[in-house]
Structure 1
Amino acid sequence: MPGPLDLQSIVDDIHRELTPRLGEGKVADYIPQLARVDPKRFGMAIVTVDGDVHMAGDAQVPFSIQSISKVFTLTLALGKHGENIWKRVGREPSGSAFNSIVQLEHEHGIPRNPFINAGAIAITDLVLAGHTPKEAIGEVVRFVRYLADEDDIVIDPEVARSEAATGYRNFALANFMRSFGKLDHPVEHVLGVYFHQCALAMSCVQLAKAGLFLAASGTNPLTRHSVVSKQRARRINALMLTCGHYDGSGDFAYRVGLPGKSGVGGGILCVAPGKASVAVWSPGLNHNGNSLLGSLALEMLASRTGWSVFGA
């Protein structure tokens, strides 16, 4: 029988091996505030279901989590509306860019899945039910703080403003869905919440803690808080595996073999069911909009731990 994994050594080795490549990839410059981020940043954190924390590099530096927030708003929406959300959004990989408008035309305003922009906007509309935009934003922040058990997680107002000022494609997506009667609230309200949730600033350690409930059958093992049922955690993980990396989701499943969700801020949240939650951050993106070195770090981690859901 192999002995226990030395996760700290594995994380340190990955960080050391990737250090010569820091700065590779292209920072998301279409959001002006993200274009200012140092492309040579790299952080990685593993939080195990036993509560051990292993980190390297810039793992405690907050960054803009962007689309990783979609995992948390999906969890919130499922809590509020249950399986009814699937009347508004599909569960299939898109095969298109994260901000594509083409499929909405063909599919009558129903986005392909909750992790592309259109799908996340539809989910945000559901989270907004019964709330003002300000209340909904507060609920999202409180929920993420609760998941991570950290009270200092905040929204970066500069990033939120930067997104609102340049989010023309998202306005188009939202208006398109509204034209099909698929949004219940005014577009400005829905996008106000959406831009703010994407502007959440978290470190790799905080992000890994927030995702830990997905590695532990729906319960955060550090706080003993039951977040979702075991079945719901499994289903969220399934969506992350099949849809969490836009039109690069199949390649990520092939190379890494773990449920994950990326964001154009360069972060990736990854789940090793029954074992750990992992977060990486490297701002340079590949052509699919996923962190280039972050994806590579997770591929190295899966290889060295044997954690792939498809076997070692």
Structure 2
Amino acid sequence: MLPAHLAPTLSAALDQIHTEAQALFGQGHVADYIPALARVPPRQFGMAVALTDGSTFAVGDAQTPFSIQSISKLFTFVLALKTQGDALWSRVGREPSGAAFNSMVQLETEHGIPRNPFINAGALVITDILTTGYAHLDYALLGAMRRLTDDPALSWNVAVARSERETGHRNMALAYFMKSYGNFVNPPELVLDNYCRQCAIEMSCAQLAQATMFLANGGRDLGRDGSPDEHMLSPADTRRVNALLLTCGAYDAAGDFAYRIGLPVKTGVGGGIVAIAPGMGTVAVWSPELDAKGNSVLGAFALERLVQLTGWHYASA
């Protein structure tokens, strides 16, 4: 945990990162293959750090809501792990893919079993599992995330969800391909409806850092007063989730992120990235311009600079 007397140092680090990041604007592009995201103003940057002692630090556009996109896969995976336990692993793997997040190539050679829960195919299987377990998965997921953020108004962006659903032909193909191998139970159309709504959930950096605090705190969420609140996961499952985030959370750039940043992360094509420093806190950063792998250009830079300035890394937790 960061000692109280070092808080000014963290604030100064965020201010420095915010200043340095401005020079990177224009080096990426918004996710224009989703029409609603193509209209997001690109030159935005926010960053929030939440510590396990309940304190938070923020800079830039940290209170601006954005579409969390694939970061939602983290929350659906946790929900499925809680309800399914080890049975989950009969339908999805735990290995890095090394391929693009929406690739179909490995599915054929691996008989319809996605490599991990964070690529699109794996996330669709997770959503299929949850669709079987919940009559209204979209509201069950929102309920959990509203508790984690202490925000009863948290919701998804209807226009973004519709835009994704209308252009999600590859995701539909992935679902039907896995169904041909018997690894998909529900109608793909129904699962895609749920999947697009979960990806269209909007959160700010400050909310995202708070919502993932349980992964830095042995599986327990923090209440408004900073004391342990909801028990989301066991310590053992928390460790396993963080391990998967470290190896699989940044699409086919996971190895580069582990090398440069050294923290468990989950990225999203909305420009958000959340990082976990077990035992210390969480970091959420957002900037809509993406690199060729679909990860935020400024977000990756900001996380790398933060670990350089603070010394945080996974092994130190």
TM-score range, shorter chain: over 0.9
Task: Look up the match of 2:131.
Answer: 128
Whole-Å separation in 2 of the counterparts to 1:48 and 1:130: 33
Whole-Å separation in 1 of the counterparts to 2:293 and 2:315: 23
User: 5+ residue gaps in structure 1?
Assistant: none
Whole-Å separation in 2 of the counterparts to 1:273 and 1:311: 9
Task: Look up the match of 2:167.
Answer: 166
How many residue pairs get aligned? The number is 309
Task: Look up the match of 1:260.
Answer: 265
Maintained 8 Å contact 1:64/1:198? yes
Greater shift after overlay, 120-129 or 147-156?
A: 147-156
Whole-Å separation in 2 of the counterparts to 1:23 and 1:212: 32
Aligned ranges 1:68-87 → 2 under 5 Å: 68-87=71-90
Task: State the one-letter code of the partner of 1:269.
Answer: V
Q: 2:48 aligns with which of 45, 50, 67?
A: 45
Whole-Å separation in 2 of the counterparts to 1:277 and 1:225: 17
Maintained 8 Å contact 2:265/2:273? yes
Whole-Å separation in 1 of the counterparts to 2:35 and 2:234: 39
Task: Look up the match of 2:245.
Answer: 240
Task: State the one-letter code of the partner of 1:4.
Answer: L
Whole-Å separation in 1 of the counterparts to 2:283 and 2:52: 11
- Once the two structures are superposed, residues 280-311 of structure 1 have per-residue CA deviations (whole angstroms, 9 ceiling, x without a partner) of 00111111111111001000001111111135
SS at match of 1:91: coil
Q: Taking structure 2 as the reference length, what is the TM-score of the superposition?
A: 0.95
Aligned ranges 1:274-285 → 2 under 5 Å: 274-285=279-290
Whole-Å separation in 2 of the counterparts to 1:268 and 1:204: 9
Task: Look up the match of 1:29.
Answer: 32
Whole-Å separation in 2 of the counterparts to 1:190 and 1:311: 39
Maintained 8 Å contact 2:97/2:115? yes
Work out whether 1:109 is the aligned partner of 2:115. no
Task: State the one-letter code of the partner of 1:65.
Answer: I
Task: Look up the match of 1:60.
Answer: 63
Maintained 8 Å contact 2:67/2:201? yes
Work out whether 1:197 is the aligned partner of 2:198. yes
Work out whether 1:272 is the aligned partner of 2:300. no
Greater shift after overlay, 223-232 or 206-215?
A: 223-232
Maintained 8 Å contact 2:157/2:200? yes
Task: Look up the match of 1:179.
Answer: 180
Whole-Å separation in 2 of the counterparts to 1:83 and 1:166: 34
Whole-Å separation in 2 of the counterparts to 1:138 and 1:209: 20
Q: 2:230 aligns with which of 225, 229, 235?
A: 225
Task: Look up the match of 1:156.
Answer: 157
Task: Look up the match of 1:4.
Answer: 6
- Deviation, structure 1 residue 104: 0.2
Maintained 8 Å contact 2:50/2:209? yes
Task: Look up the match of 1:286.
Answer: 291
Whole-Å separation in 1 of the counterparts to 2:260 and 2:89: 29
SS at match of 2:315: coil
Q: Taking structure 1 as the reference length, what is the TM-score of the superposition?
A: 0.97
Whole-Å separation in 2 of the counterparts to 1:276 and 1:247: 25
The structure-2 alpha-carbon separation of the partners of 1:222 and 1:24, relative to structure 1 and needing over 3 Å to count, comes to farther
SS at match of 2:70: helix
User: 5+ residue gaps in structure 2?
Assistant: none
Maintained 8 Å contact 1:22/1:42? no
Task: State the one-letter code of the partner of 2:311.
Answer: G
Maintained 8 Å contact 2:74/2:266? yes
The structure-2 alpha-carbon separation of the partners of 1:229 and 1:127, relative to structure 1 and needing over 3 Å to count, comes to same
Task: State the one-letter code of the partner of 1:120.
Answer: A
Work out whether 1:88 is the aligned partner of 2:70. no
Whole-Å separation in 2 of the counterparts to 1:298 and 1:290: 12
Whole-Å separation in 1 of the counterparts to 2:298 and 2:122: 26
- Once the two structures are superposed, residues 161-196 of structure 1 have per-residue CA deviations (whole angstroms, 9 ceiling, x without a partner) of 000010010000000001111011110111111010
Task: State the one-letter code of the partner of 2:129.
Answer: L
- Once the two structures are superposed, residues 27-71 of structure 1 have per-residue CA deviations (whole angstroms, 9 ceiling, x without a partner) of 100000000001101000001111111001100000000000000
